[in-house]
A and B are shown apart, each in its own frame.
Chain A
Amino acid sequence: MARTSEVIGGKGRVFTDEDASHISRIEELSYDLKIREVMTTDLIVVSPKMKMQDVLELLRQGRISGAPVVWQGKLVGLISLEDLIRSMVNHELHKNVEDYMTRDVITVKSTDPVVKALEKFARTRVGRLPVLDPDGYLIGIITKGDITRGILFALHKDFQAEEIRVYRASHLFEDIVSDRTSLIMRYRIKAGDFTHGGAASANIKRALLRLGANTQIARRCGIAIYEAEMNQIIHTDQGGLIRVEIEPHRILMQAIDDGPGIPDIDQAMQPGFSTAPEFVRELGFGAGMGLVNIRRCVDKMSLTSIKGKGTRLIMKIYLQPEDSLKENNDRSLQEEDL
Chain B
Amino acid sequence: MTLQEIIDQLDLKLLTESKDFASITPSSGYASDLLSCAMAGAKQNGIWITLQAHINIVAVAALLELSAVIITEGAQPDADTIERANQQGVTLLSTSEPTFSTAGRLWELGLRSG
**A and B associate:** yes
Binding site for B on A (CB under 8 A): 17-18, 21-22, 24, 194-195, 197-199, 201-202, 205, 215, 219, 222-223, 226-227, 230, 283-290, 292-293, 296
Could you jot down 15 A-B contacts, CB within 8 Å?
A198-B62, A198-B63, A199-B59, A223-B39, A226-B39, A226-B60, A226-B63, A230-B56, A283-B52, A284-B50, A286-B34, A287-B34, A287-B35, A289-B37, A293-B40
Contact B56 A283 (CB under 8 A): yes
Q: Which of B26-43 contact A (CB under 8 A)?
A: 33-37, 39-40
Whether B55 pairs with A284 at a CB distance below 8 angstroms is: no
Q: In the assembled complex, which residues on chain A have CB atoms less than 8 Å from the CB atom of B59?
A: 197-199, 201-202, 226
Q: What separation, in Å, do the CA atoms of A309 and B39 have in the docked complex?
A: 29
Residues of B70-102 at the interface with A, using a CB-CB cut-off of 8 Å, are: 79-80, 82-83, 86, 88
Taking Cβ atoms with an 8 Å cutoff, the residues of B that contact A are 17, 33-37, 39-40, 44, 50, 52, 54-60, 62-65, 79-80, 82-83, 86, 88
- Across the interface, do B86 and A21 meet the contact criterion of CB distance under 8 Å? yes
Please, how many angstroms separate the alpha-carbon atoms of A285 and B58 in the complex?
Answer: 14
Chain B residue contacts of A24, Cβ below 8 A: 17
Q: CB within 8 A of B17: which of A17, A22, A205, A284?
A: A22
Across the interface, do B63 and A21 meet the contact criterion of CB distance under 8 Å?
Answer: no
Q: Which 10 A-B pairs have the closest CB atoms?
A: A198-B59, A287-B34, A289-B36, A287-B36, A284-B52, A222-B63, A284-B35, A21-B83, A293-B40, A284-B33
Pairwise interchain contact A202-B44, C-beta atoms closer than 8 A: no
Q: Give the shortest distance, in Å, between B61 (CB) and chain A (any CB).
A: 10
Contact B39 A285 (CB under 8 A): no
